[in-house]
Every structure is written in C-alpha cells, then in structure tokens.
Amino acid sequence: MSKSTIAIHLPDGAVREVPAGTTPLEIASSISPRLAAASVVARLTPLTANGTASGAKASEAGEAAMYAPEDKTAPRLVDLTEPMTEDAKLELVTEKDAEALKVVRHSAAHVMATAVLELFPDTKLGHGPATDSGFFYDFYREKPFIPDDLALIEAKIAEVVARDEKFERVYEPREKALDEFSRDGDFMKTHFVTRFTEPGSQVSFYRNGRFVDFCRGPHVPSTGRVKAVKITGLAGAYWLGDEKNPQLQRIYGTAFFSTKEMDEHFKRLEEAAKRDHRVLGKQLDLFSIQELAGAGLIFWHPKGAMIRKVMEDWMREECMRRGYCLVNTPHVMRRELWKVSGHEGFYSGNMYTPMELDDAEYRLKPMNCPGHVLIYKNSPKSYRDLPARYAELGNVYRYERSGTMHGLLRVRGFTQDDAHIFCTPGQIESEVAACIDFAEVVLKTFGFSEFKVELSTWDPNDRAHYIGSDENWGLAIRSLDSVLKSKGIPFKTIPGEAAFYGPKIDIKLVDVLGRLWQLSTVQFDFNLPARFELEYVGEDGERHQPVMVHRALFGSLERFFGVLIEHYAGAFPLWLAPVQIGLVPISERHLAYAE
C-alpha cells in the first residue's frame, strides 16, 4: 500500500504532494517558521478514514486509549515528527486548540515521572494520564512519598523542563520490552504491555533524555514546552483498584501553556472554594448533614427551609398556572409495584433494600413515576381528559455508595420537582414545547441566563436495546428536535445516549463561574405505559396507549439549592433571601419602633 508520494490536504484547501515519510513539522516549517514553532501536535485525518465516530469513541476508552495501538484509519492527534505515509488531511494544532492542553498535560506526566525516577530511582511506574483538570502518575515505592518529597519533585521538574529534552518515539519488539520490564521488577508496565499489545508486535515508547516510558503519545515536541506545571496533590490508590494489591502513590498535578493561564486556573479554584455550598451552608446556617442520621441525608435548617419554601411555593403556583394538577404519592410501596414497573429489574441496585412488614415486602421509592401512573390508571380516561399533567414535589431515596456523597450535590434522599404528562401522540409537540418554555422560565427566574441543551436519541443500529415502537421513537425524537429548532435553541444531538425507555432533552445551566450543571430534563417513556397497560379511549372510540413524558426542572430541590448557593455565593436575591431585612435599633428604646 505504501506510496512514494502522498497528498496532504491543508485546512485552507491547498494540497501538497510530498514524499511519503514527510512529517507535519516539515510541512509546518515550509508554511512558516512561526507556525512550526507554535504547533504542539498535528491532527491527521486519513482520506480513507471511516468517518469521525470511531476516533471519538477511541479517545474515551480509558486505559485502552492510552496504550492500545492507535487506529491508523481514524482521525487522530500525532507527533509533529510522525512520518506521514498516506494521503491525509493535516491540521497543525497550536496552543489555542482545546485538545492541545490534554497533550501538554500528558507530557507533563512524563516530565514528572522523569523527575521522580531521577530523585528516587527505586520507584516503579504505573500509569500517568492527562485528566480534565490536569494529570496524575501512579508510582510504587516501599517508602511512601511525604509532602517534602513533592517540593523536591517540583524543583526537579523545573530542571527537566529547562533541559528541553526532545520527546522521541521509539519502537521495541514486545518480547524484548517485556523481558526488560520483568527483569527490572516493573510489574505495572509488564501488565500494561501484556494486556494492550499483541504478541510479536512492535511496542511504542517515548524517550526524553534518559527517561523511557511505554506510551503511544502523542507528545509536545520537547520538555521545554511544558512551561507551567504544578503538583497539586498526593493520594493513595490500590494497584488495579483492588485493596489486596500493593498500594500505589498517585501524585496529581496540572499543566498549562503559560503561567498566566495557570494562575487564572488557581484563581478560579480559589473563587469556587469560597463559594463551596458546604462551607456557606454552615456559615449561613442553611442546612446540615448529620453523622448520627447518615450520609447523604439533608437537614434543612430554618433559613434553608425558608428558601426551600419560596422555591416550592413558586414552583407549585407556576405548575397550577400551567395546567398541572398537584398530587402526592406514598414514600414506601409494595415490592409488587416495583416488579410491575420494572424497577425491581433494571433499577434495583439503586434502591434501598426491601423491608418486610406483616403483609408484604415494601421498598422506598427511588422515583415518583409509578405512583403517578397508578393515579392515571385509577379511573378510565378518554381523549377529553388528556393531556393529564400530574406534578409532585416528591421525596425519593436512591442508594449511593458510601463515600461518594457530596454535600447537597450527591445525596441519598432528595426531592424531585417531578411531573408526568400523559397525552395523545398528537399532543406531544405542544407538550414538549410547553415543558421547554417552563424550563427556561425556571432558569431565568432563578438567575441563570446561559444554558446548554442536549438531545439524547437512540442508536438505531442497536434496536434490541430500546423498547417502544419505531413509530413512537421517530415521533418523539422529531418532536424534541423540531421544538428546539422552532424555538431557536442551539443544541447538541447525542445518538445512543437515550435511556432504553425513550429519548430525552437535558438542560445544563451555566453558573457564574462558567461551570455546567445538569438539572432540568424532559424524557419520553414508552416503558411504563406498556407495563401498566395504560389506556385512553380515543375520538375513534378505540382504546389507545397514551404517551408519557417525565419532566423535572429544578431536577432535585437539594441539588438546585446547592447550585444556587454557589451561584450567588450565599448572597441570595431579595425574593429568595431567608432574612430580607435586618433591623438595627440604635438603642433599646427604639425597639418599639422596630416592632
């Protein structure tokens, strides 16, 4: 397949015929030395590429994505010094490109490992990926690192950066590499090479100076490009997450292309820490979580409960104005109900375990839907009764692993502003439009002006995974799509992200620090109406199955409150403030005037 000349297509439409083996750096240099100097890596899309999907997936597959040989037919980031052998589209990635940051952070992990091995040569290497906020590297050492070591490592990192060592990619036969790793007692590297490479293959390594690491890259051209780097923490982690295995030391760090960007990053973190709802919750006496009662369970103190009352009153009134009926349903219900609803099957692991009473087993509700379904089913319905909109501020309990709870944001008991709409297929579009409208009003009223919308649809190639008719799925997805389009709301469609029971729209609000929070959701459900055999008599006199829509706008009152606290840094707008006016009489005799 190899050719002597290849065609490289540049973003401006130009096509360069160059000898096979030409590198992106050579192309960059021929365009301008400045571009060559500014480039970090290159994005290469072979012209034989089978779409972009496989590339996107491969980059999210965790360890396999770090070590498994790259799919050379998919779009990918490559080193500037990677010889190109096929016709391809080439884009030079500079520091401005969002993906470049991940590359420099991965390179920073190598730089840190270089520093650690120079200071502590007996250390064994685990793996060291880039993360969303920085990078880490797992190390094994008999004697654990102490905080003073981190300062030494940081100083050594500066030396490695100053040496400006080139990152070079080298290949070695797999068996030779494995021999060397096992001879040196590098049990973790042995594991990764064994697991992620094929016998008889050439294994990819990256070298900078005397440091060599099993890695498929890509990397920045040299260690000097890691201009701003800082160690941010140290934690223990068991090898392969198993507590029977040796304990590793995970050193966290972060890296940027400039100290200015890094300073801004730490300033943002500092600002976020000042707004931490757990700190403000205590300081302003809004809520607590009590050891004696259990993790993930919220106690709303008088001031927090006052804000909650204002939120609830507003929501209930708004629901009534918009034609919802308010309902209430029990917190514990018979296990039989959860069998009919299917939760016993697909959701059991998220539910509290059953409690046995004298007549039957009961379970705490993790969702309000089956309760609302029973209300619908309790009397015959005709098309004249639809849409039926039932709303409840329903307390639900979901099992979260101990140790995973986080303030108001991740809890075991919470209150959904939950509603279910039962309607005819012909009413879908106007109901969805009304839900989106309502969601926008919620966000605006509570002070969020910016949000991001995602439409999760099915993967039609995986039909067996989804329940409900093709017709209903098509109708639901088209309605969600057309409502968003007709409202001019920008959104991202994510195929394959829908739940098995229906497509959905998720609305993520953007807070004052630019952080995204998933709160509102509008979801179709083709599962429950079928399982509970819901019906209505249509205009034609025949029985039909209604369409069911779940929607929650605050999402969870607890979580929304947590986000509000951080968004406003505790300085709630007047209409939400638990105490709106503080009275200060200058002396006791003015108290009467206060009254």
Partner 1 sequence: MKAAGLRVETDARNEKMNAKIRDLANQKTPYILVFGDKEEAAGAVSVRTRGKGDQGSMPLSDFVAKAKGLVASQSTEL
Per-residue interface string for the shown chain with partner 1, residues 434-473, x marking contact by CB under 8 A? -----------xxx--------------------------
Q: What is the dihedral of CA 8, 9, 11, 13, to 10 degrees?
A: 140
Only one of the segments 104-112, 187-195, 504-512, 578-586 lies at the binding site for partner 1 (rule: CB under 8 A); that segment is 578-586
314 vs 491, beta carbon nearer partner 1: 314
321 binds partner 1 (CB under 8 A): no
Catalytic residue, chosen from 43, 225, 277, 398, is 398
DSSP 142: S
Size of the site for partner 1 (CB under 8 A): 31
d(C-alpha 306, C-alpha 317), whole Å: 17
Catalytic residue among 249, 416, 427, 523: 416
Three-state SS annotation for 261-328:
HHHHHHHHHHHHHHCCHHHHHHHCCCEECCCCCCCCCCEECHHHHHHHHHHHHHHHHHHHHCCCEECC
C-alpha pair distances (Å), 248 with each of 27, 46, 126, 127, 143: 43, 40, 8, 11, 11
> Choosing from 369, 381, 427, 559, which is the catalytic residue?
369
Q: Which of 284, 343, 388, 516 binds partner 1 (CB under 8 A)?
A: 284
Q: Tell whether residue 513 is a contact of partner 1 (CB under 8 A).
A: no
Q: Among 146, 235, 516, 591, which residue sits at the site for partner 1 (rule: CB under 8 A)?
A: 591
DSSP codes of every residue in 6-57: EEEE-TTS-EEEEETT--HHHHHHHH-HHHHHHEEEEEEEETT---SHHHHH
d(CA 133, CA 268): 12
Stretch that binds partner 1, among 68-76, 122-130, 407-415, 586-594 (CB under 8 A): 586-594
Burial 278-301 (b: 16+ CB within 10 A, else e): bebbeebebbbbeeeeebbbbebe
For partner 1, which is the closer residue by CB, 379 or 575?
A: 575
Residue 301 bears catalytic tag: no
Residue 137 as a binder of partner 1 (CB under 8 A): the answer is: no
According to CB under 8 A, which one of 120, 196, 205, 314 is a site residue for partner 1?
A: 314
Cβ at position 154, least distance to partner 1 in Å: 37
Based on the shown chain and the rule CB under 8 A, indicate whether residue 288 belongs to the binding site for partner 1: no
What is the number of residues in the chain? 595
Tokens, residue 454: 């995602």
Q: Rounded to the nearest whole angstrom, what is the least distance from the CB of residue 281 to partner 1 in the complex?
A: 13
Q: Is 110 known to be catalytic?
A: no
- Least distance to partner 1, CB of residue 453, Å: 22
| CB 416, min distance to partner 1, A | 22
Encoded one letter per residue, x for contact with partner 1 by CB under 8 A and - for no contact, window 322-361 reads ----------------------------------------
Out of 152, 306, 405, 510, which residue is the one contacting partner 1 (CB under 8 A)? 306
> Residue 398 catalytic?
yes
C-alpha triplet 242, 246, 247: angle, nearest 5°: 85
Contacts for 172-176: CB closer than 8 Å, 24+ residues apart: 172/202, 172/203, 172/205, 173/200, 173/202, 173/203, 174/198, 174/199, 174/200, 174/201, 174/202, 174/203, 175/199, 175/200
Which residues contact partner 1 by CB under 8 A?
283-284, 306, 314, 445-447, 569-575, 577-588, 590-591, 593-595
Q: Which residues are catalytic?
A: 369, 398, 416, 418, 420, 504, 550
